[in-house]
Structure 1
C-alpha cells in the first residue's frame, strides 16, 4: 500500500480493492448516488445499493483496476476500471458526499487512468450524466472531451409482443464459449480496431450474469447479444441487453440485429421479467429508429467523454455502453 498524497492534514491512500472492502464500498456508493440524485430531483431518496455480484465481477475482470480510496483509515470512495482490448473506461467512480470537492475524486480518477495506461489502453473514457453540471465540470477540467450521447431506452415485456425466435437464433451453451471467442474478437474489431469484448462473454458465464444469444449464418456466428438477467438484490422485474454485435457483411444485418433483440425479449419473458433496458450510441439515428420500432422508448441519456485517443465506432449494428 502507498499513500499517494497528504491533503489538508489527512492521509489519502489509494490501493486495489480487497474482498473485505466490498461491503463498505457498496455503502459508500449508495450514499454517493443517493446524495447526487436527491440534489438533482429536489427531494431525498434512497438509491438502490449495487449488487455484490457486480462488484465481484468487476474485481474478477480487473483485480488491480478496482480501486478504493481511504482518508485517515476510512473508506471514502471507490472506482472501477474496465479494459476492452486497447479501450479503457472508468465507471462508476463514487466518493462520499462529505469527501467531495477536496481533490479526493481527482486523485482516484488519476489512479484509474494510470492503471489503464499500464494496461496499454490507447483510448480512455467515461460516461456520465449530462444533466449534472458538477459531473461534466469534473471530467472536462480533467482533460476529458465530450464525444457522444448514449441513449438509455426501456420497454415493457409483454406476452402479446413476443414472436417466434428465428431458427438461426439460439442461446449459446457455456461449453461453446471457447470456440466462439475468436469470432467475438473479429466482430469487436468491426466496431473499432482497438476493441475486444471477449472478457464480457467470459464474465457472463463465469459469474452467471445472464444469457448469450447468437444468430448463425452459413455455418458461422453472424451476431451475438448479451442479456444480463441476474437477480439484482431481490429485484427480478427487469433485465438489460448489455451488448449486441452483428456482422456488417451479412446480407441483411439489420434483420439479424432485430432478431437478436427479440430473442433477448423472449428470454426476458421466459424468465418472468417485466421490463428490458438497453443503451446505445445517440450518434446512430438508424439504430434509434430500429429500437423505437421494436417498442423501446427513450428514458434517459449519458454523455461519453474521452481523454486519451480518438474513438469512432465504424459499424451501425452494435450496442454497448461505457457505464458501470
Structure 2
C-alpha cells in the first residue's frame, strides 16, 4: 500500500467551502455504493459547519494533502460527555489511515477539554465501520433508529408548549443544563440550545411546569433546513424530565408542536434518530413515524446511560 503524506490540522472558517464539498462527495459516493445509482447528493448548509465551530472552535479537524482537503472530523462537547460526528474521508483516500488519525485527534481533543465519556453513532449494518471504532477503543453501547414522518397536514398546536423568542434564548440555558444533569450525570445539552440561535440553526420549544413556570419539564430544538434543496427538517433534540409522572404527555406535546413548527418553516418531513424504549416505540408509531434506518451507538471511557421514557438525544452528526 502506498504511504500517503497527509497533514492533520484544526478546521477553521476558511475551510468551510472545502469541507462542504468533501462531505457532499463522500456521501454521494456512499449513496452510489448503496444503490448502484449516481445520485446528486445535496450539500450540507454552511451554517451547519458554522454551528460546529461556534460550539467548539478547536474541536474540528481537517486532513490535507498538498493543501487539498481529503478528510474531516467534528468533535462535540456536551459537558463531560463528548461525541464525534461525522468523520468523512474522500473515497480514494480511505483505508490509508486518514480516518484513524482524524478520530484520534478528535478523541484527544475531547479528553483534553474534560469529556469522561466519548460516543459515536455509526452505520449499524456495516461491520467495517463498527470494527474501525473498536480498534480505537470504542465498544458497542446500543442500537439507535432513524425515524421520519411526512407531514401531510397541519398537526395544529397542543397548547402546552411555548416557542421561545429569539431574544429569550439565554433564559433557558441554565434550566436546560439542570434538566440534562437529571437525564445523565455530567451531560450538558445547553450548548445545543445556545447554538440553535447563535448559528441560526433553528428554534426552541419549551414545556414548563404549569405549577412552577421556572421548572422545565421538557424542551425540543427544531432545525430549519440542513441540506440544500431538501424539505426534510431535523428534530435535533427532544428531552423530558425523567422524574415527571406523565413523560409521554410532555413528549407528545413537544412532538406535535415540533411538527407544526417544521410546517411553518416550509418543511414537509421531519426526521431524527434516537434509542428505542417502550414509550418511544409506541408513541412514535401512534404519531405516524416510520423507521428508515439504523445506527449503532458506541462509547469509550466512563459508562453512559440516559434516564427517562423518551429522550431524543442523537450523536449522529
Same-fold call, TM cutoff 0.5? yes
The answer (yes or no) to whether the contact 1:30–1:50 under 8 Å persists in 2 is: yes
Q: Give 1:4's aligned residue.
A: none
Q: Give 1:204's aligned residue.
A: 196
Aligned: 1:37 with 2:40: no
Shift of 1:231: 6.0
Aligned: 1:227 with 2:233: no
Q: Give 2:294's aligned residue.
A: 301
Q: Give 1:169's aligned residue.
A: 161
Per-residue Cα deviation, 1:286-314 (whole angstroms, up to 9, x for no partner): 21111111111111111111122211112
Q: Give 1:264's aligned residue.
A: 258
Query: Which whole-Å CA distance do the structure 2 matches of 1:251 and 1:102 have between them?
Result: 52
Unaligned runs of 5+ in 2: none
Q: Secondary structure at the match of 2:252?
A: helix
Query: Which whole-Å CA distance do the structure 2 matches of 1:70 and 1:22 have between them?
Result: 14
Shift of 1:10: 4.1
Moved over 6 A (4+): none
Per-residue Cα deviation, 1:87-124 (whole angstroms, up to 9, x for no partner): 11111101111111111111111100110001110011
Aligned: 1:22 with 2:16: yes
Q: Give 2:310's aligned residue.
A: 317
Query: Which whole-Å CA distance do the structure 2 matches of 1:308 and 1:245 have between them?
Result: 24
| Inter-CA distance 134–42: structure 2 relative to 1 (3 Å threshold) | farther
| Inter-CA distance 100–205: structure 2 relative to 1 (3 Å threshold) | same
The answer (yes or no) to whether the contact 2:223–2:236 under 8 Å persists in 1 is: yes
Unaligned runs of 5+ in 1: 1-6
Greater mean deviation of Cα atoms: 213-222 or 80-89: 213-222
Query: Which whole-Å CA distance do the structure 1 matches of 2:110 and 2:262 have between them?
Result: 34
The number of equivalent residue pairs is: 314
Greater mean deviation of Cα atoms: 134-143 or 292-301: 134-143
Q: Give 2:115's aligned residue.
A: 121
Shift of 1:221: 2.5
1:57 to 51, 58, 61: 51
